[in-house]
Amino acid sequence: AQSVAQPEDQVNVAEGNPLTVKCTYSVSGNPYLFWYVQYPNRGLQFLLKYITGDNLVKGSYGFEAEFNKSQTSFHLKKPSALVSDSALYFCAVRDRASGTYKYIFGTGTRLKVLA
Amino acid sequence: AAGVIQSPRHLIKEKRETATLKCYPIPRHDTVYWYQQGPGQDPQFLISFYEKMQSDKGSIPDRFSAQQFSDYHSELNMSSLELGDSALYFCASSLSSLAAQPDTQYFGPGTRLTVL
């Protein structure tokens, strides 16, 4: 079965510093990986996805993620954090075992950017 | 750009009552997904529909049912509500979920259901 793990419940980073939110995956076959952000009382907003091609994927709001096959990781990164980036971040893998593509989400990582 | 619309945004019900949640996908999207997010938890897949047919089923209780209509909107019907059903219910839509390349799921703002 497909799964993703987000080992950190919370990440704190100072504004202006680089940030990394970790995600590791376990899939059979080619992985299709996604990052979403959730602000309080809001829906999930799509940030970026990896399907194939370049290991470095660029997404919305200056975020990027690096796909590392040998380490089965898909860490989310941003060179310079903003206070407004503070939110809950979910990594997800597409489960294609049944023919349609539901997402399996990680447990989420709360990012806190300190001014 | 048009997004996924969910109604109502908030719903308060008593135990054993029924509730109906509605989802209007992004125009031209043919697949709708329902997720349940409990307090402090990650979203859990419930059920999905492709071209008005149920395409996948996750951890949806037997008390819940859903359907997709001819205009592609979907409704999640919940009966005999329990306290544990209190959660945020998300609908997402995508285009051509059976295509070789997975399309991105776009989520609605969610319906917050509180069962008293």
Q: Do B45 and A104 touch (CB under 8 A)?
A: yes
Question: In angstroms, what separates the C-alpha of A68 from chain B's closest C-alpha?
Answer: 20
For residue A50, which residues of chain B lie inside 8 Å, CB to CB? none
Q: How far is CA A96 from CA A6, A72, B116, in A?
A: 21, 18, 37
Per cent of chain B over pLDDT 90 is 74
pLDDT at residue number B91: 96
Pair type for strands A33-38 and A87-95:
antiparallel
Q: Give the residue among A74, A50, A8 at the shortest CA–CA distance from B101.
A: A50
Q: Is the pLDDT confidence value at A98 over 60?
A: no
Q: Is the pLDDT confidence value at A64 over 80?
A: yes
Average pLDDT over residues A73-86: 96
- What residues contact residue A110 under an 8 Å CB cut-off, 6+ apart? A9, A10, A11, A87, A88, A89
Q: Which chain B residue has its CA at the smallest distance from A4's CA? A: B42
Q: Is the pLDDT confidence value at B99 over 70?
A: no
Over the stretch B25-54, which tens digit does the pLDDT of each residue have?
A: 999 888 899 999 998 899 999 999 988 888
Q: Do B107 and A36 touch (CB under 8 A)?
A: yes
pLDDT at residue number A45: 93
Q: Is the pLDDT confidence value at B65 over 60?
A: yes
Record the tokens describing residue B111, joined without a space.
């319906």
Q: Which chain A residue has its CA at the smallest distance from B93's CA? A: A102
- What residues contact residue B99 under an 8 Å CB cut-off, 6+ apart? none
Q: Is the pLDDT confidence value at B9 over 90?
A: yes
A3, A34, A44, A94: best to mutate for the B interface, most B CBs within 10 A? A44
CB pairs under 8 A between A and B: 64
For residue B114, which residues of chain A lie inside 8 Å, CB to CB? none
**Are A81 and A14 in contact, with CB atoms under 8 Å apart?**
yes
pLDDT at residue number B87: 96
Record the tokens describing residue B3, joined without a space.
């997004």
How far is residue B37's CA from residue B22's CA, in Å, rounded to a whole number?
Answer: 16
Cβ burial, residue A54 (10 Å; 0-12/13-18/19+): exposed
pLDDT at residue number B55: 84
Q: Do B42 and A94 touch (CB under 8 A)?
A: no
Q: Give the residue among B103, B92, B99 at the shortest CA–CA distance from A32.
A: B103
B42, B50, B104: best to mutate for the A interface, most A CBs within 10 A? B42
Helix/strand/coil for B45: strand
Per cent of chain A over pLDDT 90 is 71
Q: Which residue has the tokens 């975020």?
A: A63
| Mean pLDDT, rounded, of chain B | 91
pLDDT at residue number B109: 93
How far is residue B80's CA from residue A78's CA, in Å, rounded to a whole number?
Answer: 45
Element (H, E) at A15: none
Average pLDDT over residues B71-77: 96
CA B95 remoteness from chain centre:
16
